[in-house]
Structure 1
């Protein structure tokens, strides 16, 4: 389904909120707690077993650093910037990671992306998340945006940084929604990553967005399409590929 694309009033959206899940914090604290415990005054128990001297481990030999880019798959024609699609419609998105095409961390890739659906988050999901700016359930609505991505083509000295594109959101009038970035484990909305970096590999992704409750979620999309090669000081504009969110009810 295609229709005339709106012009988002804000790109790429409201400022991002950063958060850390309670489980992530627990995992950081647990090893410290394991080191202590017990009565600090108690003497250690005597042992008749002599200490074991570990044998020296061989130092691994680092592999050669590639000097030529690795390329997998075949490039496809990208979906036109500004296109507006429907749920389940496919869009070919091109992404560039990094500013220096000659740099060791630079990579580029194409994925076929689909918008799967959006659900309203249960406020209880966020109860254990430490937010810089707390969500106000009376004034804000949190959404989980679910998408699917298939790797088509990738090129770079290293492909480990190739991952699904980040999806943003706008209301029906084109005003940008805030991102909610949760660091750590957040079971309610998790994203997969390309592990094999082979064409045809498909992963599910979930992004979290926040809108004032008075606004209606209207569009989700990928502003980075197309992500043209540029340096950090160059001015550029983007027109996102959008998926229209079906009206509730």
Structure 2
């Protein structure tokens, strides 16, 4: 008798578990959002820090997590009003390059995204070191920066890499390649300073670019390179 009762109870429990675990079509449908209306939006720049971006306004599939794109500028072109779980909400259709989708409007902030300063510094160092590789062996040795350097450190590298003939080299060939490298390094930072600093650097760069290195003027050119690198390095230190 006990065995029969125990078996009956197990059968009832099993049926209850199966009944509660199977989702009905009505349950699945209730999780979808209903689109009430859609309107066009004048192309507007947005950025955000959180919230999922969905493939459609029905919110059935997540494509991206905005927390991974907080330095990305998105552009909104459409608005939608949806109804989900009995509540209305506003969505915005956003795009960035090939990425696109719908996100709750409350997660967006108008305007372009902030600059990822650390990433920009790292990219600057990579580009600067690429320019340095155009220089003489002495310039490469003294001017190359580490990826972990700050702008203060980077400015010191610029100054050190062309600080006299011991860093530039003492031949016409070495001075010419050092000149090429310094002008390339300048182009990495060009336009990132105040208007007066930009104008001053541009004038110095033009003068150096228009001067051909010869045995007769090598000392003057090296002095000009040192002066230019000191000026450039000094303002690089002020970047952030």
Q: One fold, TM greater than 0.5? A: no
Q: Which has the higher helix share?
A: 2
Structure-2-length-normalised TM-score: 0.19
Q: Which has the higher strand share?
A: 1
Structure-1-length-normalised TM-score: 0.19
Q: Greater RCO between the two (CA within 8 Å, min separation 6)?
A: 1
